Every structure is written in structure tokens, then in C-alpha cells.
Structure 1
Amino acid sequence: MNNNEAPVFTTGEFAKKSGVTLRTLRYYDKINLLKPCSYTKSGHRLYSKSDFGKLQKILTLKFIGLSLKDISKIMNYDMEDSNIKKSLEIQRVIMKEKVHHIEAVIKSIDEAINMLDTSNTLNWDKFINIISIINTDQKWMNQYENASNLKARIRIHELFSINAKGWMNWFFEHLNIKIDSRILELGCGDGELWEKNLNRIPEGWNIVLTDFSEGMLKDAEVNLGENSGRFNFKIADAQKIPFEDNSFDVVIANNMLYHISNINLALSEIHRVLKPGGTLYASTVGKNHMKEMRDIVNVFGSKNLTLNSWTLTENFQLENGMEKLNKWFNNVKLKRYKDSLKITDEIPLMNYIFSMPGNNKSSFTGKELKNLTDFLHSEIMKNDYIYITKDTGFFSAQTALNI
């Protein structure tokens, strides 16, 4: 074997190095969970180094508590097997969720033991609470897919955007915020706006990060790492913001208002919690954003791919946002971000398409996936890239000053 060839292992070697049984490997092969990379002329299974990464993911998700059926869906869903870092980051977030769940169960059991130690009687309501906590549906499968979806959508912009500045850096630079301001972000997601600009955050800012999803808030805390102590985290619905009137100098809504079912109610809540003269920064996209992506899906013409999710932004876009904001705020201004994509690799493009709600890789046969891969590759080869329009920007709007 020369140095350019990838090392391969027999089933016995692979089992010994990984600490799993031959029976387990044979079963994973049988159910298409972990297929060998190749076979010998006599039909014996062979595994590569990358298969250790796949096995690690399977065993981690199994430890979390997912069924082999759910793990199979996740393995099918993750197309970019070479991106080990992305996979490990997602696993780390969910493992932390699992630890948090276990700690809550242990705390409830300790409380029950303490009750018996002190009074020799058991409060059955608290005892039943242990069962409730144990059975809490953590939706591990959904959390994994949500995290993977978000990273897939961010990744395509990181890889292929023409504007080297990057949206998060550009947006942050246009936030005109005083040193001693109190700032609220609604729908902070995984905290990327702050993680990308940590070295530019003034010490005097008092920042509260909120999201409707507890999982996303924990993702944000993990991503901010040792700097997470500079932020406050709180679960919040933008339609019922859990803060008093006139609490903040600035509210940031970064590509999230179009997700709100009652946007008028959300804007009234934002207006309520802003101080007189306070500023809202609300980013969104235009109707032509990623329009070529929709064309690609249409031309491919698969019944298993949907375009419905691309209409979700219509509730609050660059074209109609000013009209909606003018009902609640003064001095509404729009600033657009100039950028586009030149996609030269079909795999991140496939990841993006399957990250959109309603599109699931597991609904595709192997032949259909190959057809889609070949189709995207051929589209790239026409001009050496696929051009994708980006139409993004933000509104700034202010509350009236008290006179």
C-alpha cells in the first residue's frame, strides 16, 4: 500500500480498534446504518478511517437515547460526512442537554431521599414529579436536525459569499449603540451575531439574549464559551416580551420577525419595552433572496422537494417592512447589504436544500440522490459556478422622545 492510499481495515481489525463486536458491525451493515467502504475480491467487508467517525456518531446518538431508526435518519440526513467538526459540535450541544436532563432527575431523587431522611414520609406529588422529569420529551431528534439545519444554511454563505465582510460583521458594524446601553436581542438563535464580534463588544453594554427555544439559548451559551458571562439569557416570546416598559435602549431582531405569527403584536411589544428614543434594528430578506435556488428546485422537479418554506419570509420583507414599522416607530430607514453567492460545490448546496423545512433526505432513494447530485454538478459545470442572488438588509426605527 502506498502513502496515497487510504488505510482500510478488515471487520476484525475495525471491531478490535473501535471496541464493538463483529455481530454489531454485521447488524449495522444489514440495516444500512454503517456500510463498509468496500469489499475484498472474496466479499469480506473493509472499513476506512472515516468509518470510525461514522461509528462514533452512531454510538454517541445511541448513548443520548435515540433509537437505531432515528439514528439512521440522522445519518442519512448528514450528507457532509467529511465535516467532522460540524458533527462533533452538534453532538456536544446535545450531550450537554442530556447532562442537564440527568442532573434534573438526580436533583429530584435527592429531594425525595431528603424528605424520607427528615420526616420518614414521602410527598407523593414531589415523587410523581421525578417520573415527570424522567419522561420529559427532550426531542433529541428535532434538536439535532434543527442545529444541523441552521449550520447548513450558515455554511453556504460562509463558503461562497462574494462579500468577504460577512453579514454578521457588516450588520454589527451598522449598530449605532452608545457605550452604556441596555440591549435586547429577540430570537438570538445560536448567538452567532455576538460570537462573530466578541472582540468589538464594549464593556459598558448590558446584553440580554432571548429565544423562544430553550435549546437555541443553550447553543448560544455554548458557542459564546468563556464569554457567556457577559450576557444574560432568557426564554422569551416576541409577542409577549417578559420585561417592563421602557427597559431597553436597543432591540435587535436579526432575521426573525418573519417567523412571528402576529407581527403587529410583536412590534407593539418591542415598542413597549424600548425607552423613549430607543432604536429597533430589524433585519430581513427581500422577495428575490436566493431566487435561483428556487429555480433549481423547480427545474429538477422532484415531488420530494418543496418550495413552500421559501415563502415564509413574506410576513416581513424588505419590500413591506417599512410600511409595517411606520405604524409603530419614527424615522424608519432601510439599508441593504450587497452580496451574492457563487457556488462551486454541489454538496453544501444539497445540504442547504435539505435544511429547508419539508425537505428530508431520508425520503430520497439512493438513485434519486445520485440524480440530484449529478444535476447540481452539471449546473455548476455550465459556468464553473451557480450564481445565487442575495437580497438582505435591515431597518432601523426609533420610538418617539418624550417632550
Structure 2
Amino acid sequence: MGNDEAMFTVGEFAAKAGVTHRTLRYYDSIGLLQPSAHNKSGHRLYSLEDFARLQKIMTLKFIGLPLDDIGNIIKYDIDGKGFKNPLELQKQVMTQKIRHMQEVSAAIDEALLMLNKGEKLNWDKFINIITAINADINWPAQYQNASNLKTRIKVHEDYSTNNQGWMEWFFKQLNLPDNANILELGCGDASLWVKNFAFIPDGWSIMLTDFSPGMLKDAKSNLKNKNNRFKFKMADAQMIPFEDETFDAVIANHMLYHVPDIEKSLSEVHRVLKPKGIFYASTVGKKHMSELRDIIQKFDCRLITIKSWEHTEKFHLENGMDKVSKLFKNVKLKRYEDNLIVTEAKPLMDYIFSMPGNARQGFSEEKLMEFKIFLDNEISVSNGIFISKDTGFFYGTK
């Protein structure tokens, strides 16, 4: 019997994993880790892949998450071929948890130093400890958001007809001098710069901003030892915290449709740009991923919604020209040619469930299987589901 077929009894599995029978029984009873099979006598059998699931549970438990939260967040893991993506997500959350604990520890050290020196009590030192503790982020939400983002990126990477990814293509469209002061609004996890770091001119000074402190932490983590090439600042695109005429270029990569007041944000971009500075604003078109929306409607399930696509309507390729042209000159639109041909149901299911409002846990096993069979049938009709992509960017000068 090959390793891929190896099965373990409860006793064998518990001994190899270093956990008790009672722990495995409890995880089974709450649906956290159920055995892969049962033998003819009805006894539970575990597979090698069950070790990976147990490792995931123990890792998240180690960083302090309760079992209820663990049960929820592992539902968002990318169930692809291999274990790289789930491990990367666990490492990301653990790294952030360690950083937070270090911040709490530093605040405690500061208070201890004051007491050891016999100084007069400064209650602000104790308040700093409380503030550091309360700065803890919502780890399940962080894990879920990171997983959802990776899920969507993975589908585009694996099934796009254009071999040149969006980030690489978009970066090559930045027509800027070798010495330029650049601002990116809503930098997210800094993918634009991670994927193109080798091509960044030495003379570029780059400021990365995001409204989310969690995203800024991700950006710093992803850039790792390249951080010295960038500056980071939490910022609201509606109130950009920089002086007038500071930047040679401002980039808003697929983010303006998230901004409540787009006109105010565009005005702020205009303010911080130098004369003849360039503004780059990317978005999607109204027909972007339209076939996927059609599929969801065809399946006709109340647990799946297409409303998450509506958030782009505030700023898309069809209405963005008018908005940008009110403040910028010589505005042009350039489209990125690409589509998807998806040949597997599971990645497409992951993509759909990663969209806001589509929660996998609302589905029974029977309903999930029904959805998979439906997608398999759609794929078999034409050897893959064709999904059109409509992405591009506007660029204009001050």
C-alpha cells in the first residue's frame, strides 16, 4: 500500500501526532477533525492528509485562538493541490501574532524599567500596556481575508489566458522618469512591488499607504528585507496626509471603488500631485467576470449572491473617464487583454465562496456536492468554463 493510501487507527494516529484519544474524539464530535474513513467494524481511520488538518488546528490553537474560531477560519483555507498556501497563511497570522506579543512585551519592559529605577509612578506606562494589548487585531477575520485574497489570486494565476499577470503588465505601463516620487493609495499587500521589485529604478522614492493597518503589516511582511526601499503610512484616500505638489505620480490600483467619496479622493490626488504629475487609476469593466455571475444565477441558490460585484459600479471602465477627466488632462484608457478558462470545479467554488456574502459554512455537505456536480457539468459541456475579464486603467496628467 502506497503512502497516499496509508490509513491509521485512532491509536496509531494519536501516537504519531502526540495527542490523546480524548482530544481526537472531541474534535470529531464538534466537526473540527473527522476521520477520513471507517473500517468494516465502524472504527475510525485517519489519512496522511488528516495530519495536515490536525497541524493546522494545533498551530492556530498555539497562537491563542479558541476552537470555535479555528473551526470557522479553516473553512476558508485554499484546498488546492499541496499544502503551500495553507502553511503560508498560518505563517502570516503567526508572524503578526508574534509581532503583537513583542509590542505588549516592550510596553511591559518600559513599565518595569520605571519601577526598577525607583522612579515616581507614571500611570501612562501602565496605560500603554493596556493599549498594546487592545491593539490586537481580529485574527479570524485577518486569516479569512488573507485566504480569500489568495483564493482569488490563485484562480487568476492558474487559469488566465494571458501569461503576463496583471501586476507585471500594469507596472510596465508606468511611464515615469528614473527619478520620481511615487505614492500608492490602497497598496494592499504590496503585490505590485513584490512582483516587480527587480525592475524598480534606483531613483524612485515610493510611499505605500493603506487605510487598513492590517494591510500595511502585510505589505511590510511581503517586502521583507526590501523594506528600506519603501516608506509606509496609514492613510485615508479622502484625506491624503501629504503636502501639496509632493508626488510625480499617484497610483490607485483597483481601490477607488472602495472609497465612499470618490470625487473627494480625486481632488486630494490632484492636490498632492506636482504640475504635470501623472495619475494612474485601474479598475474593472461592467462585464468583468460576467459569465461567473451568470453561472451563480443559473444555479439559483439563495445562499450564493452576486451582490459583491456591485461595489465596483461607483468607478468602473465605463464611467471612470468622466470622473477622472474633471480634474486631469489628456485622460486615456488602456485595457489589459485577458480571460479565464477554468477546467476544475473546486477552484471556482473557492473563488465564489471567497466573495463577500458567500459563506461556505451555510452549505450542507449535500448542497456543496450538488454545487460541485453542477459546475462539473458546466465544465464538461465545453471542456472548461470561459470567463471574460475586463480590466484596465485610466491615466492623465495634472
Same structural fold, with TM-score higher than 0.5 when normalized by the shorter chain? yes
Name the CA distance, whole Å, in 2 between partners of 1:346 and 1:239: 40
CA shift digits 1:177-215 (9 cap, x unpaired):
110001111111111111111211111111111111111
Give yes or no for the alignment of 1:171 onto 2:170. Answer: yes
Per the TM alignment, residue 137 of structure 1 is displaced from its structure 2 partner at its CA by 4.0
TM-score norm. by structure 2 comes to 0.97
Aligned to 2:36: 37
For the Cα contact (< 8 Å) 1:346–1:380, is it kept in 2? yes
Percent of aligned pairs sharing the same letter: 57
- Superposition pairs of residues 187-202 of structure 1, within 5 angstroms: 187-202=186-201
Which shows bigger deviation, 36-45 or 131-140?
131-140
For the Cα contact (< 8 Å) 2:324–2:331, is it kept in 1? yes
Aligned to 2:214: 215
Distance 1:6 1:225, change over 3 A: farther
CA shift digits 1:7-52 (9 cap, x unpaired):
2222222222222111111111111101111112112221111111
For the Cα contact (< 8 Å) 1:354–1:361, is it kept in 2? yes
Give yes or no for the alignment of 1:47 onto 2:62. Answer: no
Which structure 1 residue ranges, 5 or more long, are not aligned? none
Name the CA distance, whole Å, in 2 between partners of 1:225 and 1:128: 31
Name the CA distance, whole Å, in 1 between partners of 2:239 and 2:90: 32
Give yes or no for the alignment of 1:309 onto 2:304. Answer: no
Distance 1:276 1:79, change over 3 A: closer
Name the CA distance, whole Å, in 2 between partners of 1:26 and 1:374: 32
Name the CA distance, whole Å, in 2 between partners of 1:93 and 1:215: 11
Which structure 2 residue ranges, 5 or more long, are not aligned? none
Aligned to 2:364: 365
Distance 1:305 1:317, change over 3 A: same
Which shows bigger deviation, 202-211 or 274-283?
202-211
Give yes or no for the alignment of 1:77 onto 2:103. Answer: no
Aligned to 2:20: 21
**Equivalent position SS for 1:283:** strand
Give yes or no for the alignment of 1:337 onto 2:336. Answer: yes
Aligned to 1:63: 62
Partner AA of 1:103 in structure 2: Q
Aligned to 2:269: 270
Per the TM alignment, residue 83 of structure 1 is displaced from its structure 2 partner at its CA by 4.2
Name the CA distance, whole Å, in 2 between partners of 1:202 and 1:286: 31
Aligned to 1:327: 326
Aligned to 2:227: 228
Distance 1:231 1:44, change over 3 A: same
Name the CA distance, whole Å, in 1 between partners of 2:3 and 2:145: 37
Name the CA distance, whole Å, in 2 between partners of 1:279 and 1:193: 17
Name the CA distance, whole Å, in 2 between partners of 1:150 and 1:56: 22
Matched residue pairs, number?
Answer: 398
Per the TM alignment, residue 392 of structure 1 is displaced from its structure 2 partner at its CA by 0.5
For the Cα contact (< 8 Å) 2:27–2:34, is it kept in 1? yes
Per the TM alignment, residue 120 of structure 1 is displaced from its structure 2 partner at its CA by 5.0
Partner AA of 2:122 in structure 1: N
TM-score norm. by structure 1 comes to 0.96
Per the TM alignment, residue 68 of structure 1 is displaced from its structure 2 partner at its CA by 0.9
Name the CA distance, whole Å, in 1 between partners of 2:245 and 2:293: 42
Give 4+ residue runs of structure 1 displaced > 3 Å after superposition: none
**Equivalent position SS for 2:373:** helix
Aligned to 1:143: 142
For the Cα contact (< 8 Å) 2:180–2:203, is it kept in 1? yes
Name the CA distance, whole Å, in 2 between partners of 1:221 and 1:113: 30
For the Cα contact (< 8 Å) 1:285–1:313, is it kept in 2? yes
For the Cα contact (< 8 Å) 1:333–1:396, is it kept in 2? yes
Per the TM alignment, residue 250 of structure 1 is displaced from its structure 2 partner at its CA by 0.7
Per the TM alignment, residue 174 of structure 1 is displaced from its structure 2 partner at its CA by 0.8
Name the CA distance, whole Å, in 1 between partners of 2:188 and 2:36: 37
CA shift digits 1:252-299 (9 cap, x unpaired):
111111110000010011111111100011110000000011111111
Aligned-residue Cα RMSD (Å) equals 1.4
CA shift digits 1:151-198 (9 cap, x unpaired):
111111101111111111111111101100011111111111111112
Name the CA distance, whole Å, in 2 between partners of 1:129 and 1:225: 28
For the Cα contact (< 8 Å) 1:33–1:75, is it kept in 2? no
